Copies of this chain bind each other. A is one copy, B any other.
Amino acid sequence: MKYKDAGVNIEHGKRVKDSLLTHVKATWGKHVLSEAGAFGGLFEVDPEISSPVLVSSIDGVGTKLIVAQMAGRYDTVGHDLVNHCVNDILVQGARPLFFLDYIAAGAVTEEMAGSVVRGIAEACKANGCALIGGETAEMPDLYRKNDFDLAGCIVGVVSKDAIIDGSAIVPGDRVFALPSSGLHTNGYSLARKVFFDELGFELSQFVDELGCTVAEELLKVHVSYLQAVKELGERVTVKGLAHITGGGMVDNIPRILPANCDAHIERDRRSAPPVFEFMQKKAAIPEKEMYQVFNMGLGMIVIVGEDDAAGLRNETDPDLIHVGEIVAGKRTFIFS
C-alpha cells in the first residue's frame, strides 16, 4: 500500500506549489528573509517603527466559496480574503506586514489552488503585504472532490501611540462611511438561499435590477479600505473605524464605541448597491435582519470629531458618505 492509494498525491501537490512560487515571491520585499521552502516565513521588523505593536487577524470568506466553486472562478475569493483581513487590522490603525493562507480541498488542482493563491498574491501586492507562508491540504475524506475551504491570517503593525481604539469618541462626533462594492464576504448563506432557492436563479441569469449577472453580483470583490483610510488619516484625526462584516452595523459599530455613546445612523439608502434592496424585497427579509447580516452598502465606518467633519463635508469626495452622529447613550447602534 502507498500514500497514493489513500487518495493523496505528494508529487502532484509539490508541482502545484512550485508553480505558485513566482506569484508568491512577487509579494516579497527586503523585509522577507526566508527562502521558499523554509519551515516558517521570516519577516524583519523595521527598526524605524517606534514602540511597535503587532495586530493580527484570521478569517475565511464564508460560503462565498460555494459561489466561486459553482462559477468555477477561483481568483476573486483570494482578493476577498486578503482585503477582508487588511480591513480588520486597519480599524486599529495597523498597516499590513505579511499574510499566510490555508487551503483545504477534496482535490488540490492547479486550476483551483493556483487561481486562489494567484488572487491572494495579487491582493497582497496591492496592499503592500508579503505572502510569507501557506498550507495546502488535500483531504479527500473530509471535503467532496470539488469542495474547498480557505482561511488566511494577517499580521500588521502600528506604533503604540497610533492605535485607534475608539476611546476618544465623544457625543457630537460625526459618522462617515466608505461604500462597499456589494455583499463583500458576509451573509452568503442567506444570499444564496434568496438567489438560488427562493428565486431559482442560475449564476448566468442577468438581473435587470442589478445590472449584471448573479455570478458577477455575488463575486464582486471585497473592497480594501487601506488607501482610502490612509488618505483620510493624513487630513483628519480618525477617532474610530469599524469594518462592517458579519453582524452588520448592528454588531460592528458598538465594538468601537465608549460605554456612554450611541451611534445614530440616518441614511439615504438610494446610493447603496441595489443588491440589498433587491434581496430584502424578493425574500421579505425584516429590516433589522438586513442590518445585522449585510453591510447595506457601507463597508467601513469612520468616526471623526465635529471640527474635522466640517472640512470633510466640504470635500466633493463621492466615496465618503456622511451617515450620522455620535450621541450620548449606552454603546448601541440606532438606525432611523
Q: In the complex, what residue of chain B is closest to A104 when comparing beta carbons?
A: B149
Q: Which of B8, B34, B155, B243 contacts A39 (CB 8 A)?
A: B243
Expressed in whole angstroms, the minimum distance between the Cβ of A329 and any Cβ of chain B is 18
Q: In the complex, what residue of chain B is closest to A252 when comparing beta carbons?
A: B39
On whether the beta carbons of A56 and B40 are closer than 8 Å, the reply is yes
Q: A71 in the interface, Cβ–Cβ < 8 Å?
A: no
Contacts of A92 in B (CB 8 A): 34, 38-40, 42
On whether the beta carbons of A142 and B63 are closer than 8 Å, the reply is yes
On whether the beta carbons of A189 and B45 are closer than 8 Å, the reply is no
Copies of this chain in its oligomeric complex:
2
- Chain B binder among A191-199, A213-221, A231-239: A191-199
Contacts of A42 in B (CB 8 A): 53-55, 92, 163
On whether the beta carbons of A142 and B147 are closer than 8 Å, the reply is yes
Q: A133 in the interface, Cβ–Cβ < 8 Å?
A: yes
Mark contacts of A155-191 with chain B using CB atoms, 8 A cut-off: 1 yes-contact digit, 0 otherwise: 1100010010100000000000000000000010110
Q: In the complex, what residue of chain B is closest to A166 when comparing beta carbons?
A: B38
Q: A201 in the interface, Cβ–Cβ < 8 Å?
A: no
Question: Given known contacts A56-B133, A142-B149, A189-B8, is B40 in contact with A285 (CB within 8 Å)?
Answer: no
Q: A110 in the interface, Cβ–Cβ < 8 Å?
A: no
Q: A7 in the interface, Cβ–Cβ < 8 Å?
A: yes
Question: Given known contacts A10-B247, A104-B60, is B66 in contact with A141 (CB within 8 Å)?
Answer: yes
Complex: how many Å from CA A7 to CA B193?
10
Contacts of A91 in B (CB 8 A): 39-40
On whether the beta carbons of B100 and A5 are closer than 8 Å, the reply is no
Expressed in whole angstroms, the minimum distance between the Cβ of A127 and any Cβ of chain B is 15
- Chain B binder among A111-119, A222-230, A261-269, A286-294: A286-294
Complex: how many Å from CA A189 to CA B58?
27
Chain A 1-46 residues near chain B, CB threshold 8 A? 1-3, 5-8, 10, 33-34, 37-45
Q: A101 in the interface, Cβ–Cβ < 8 Å?
A: yes
On whether the beta carbons of B53 and A141 are closer than 8 Å, the reply is no
On whether the beta carbons of A1 and B190 are closer than 8 Å, the reply is yes
Chain A 89-120 residues near chain B, CB threshold 8 A? 89, 91-92, 94, 97-98, 100-102, 104
Q: A283 in the interface, Cβ–Cβ < 8 Å?
A: yes
On whether the beta carbons of A40 and B63 are closer than 8 Å, the reply is no
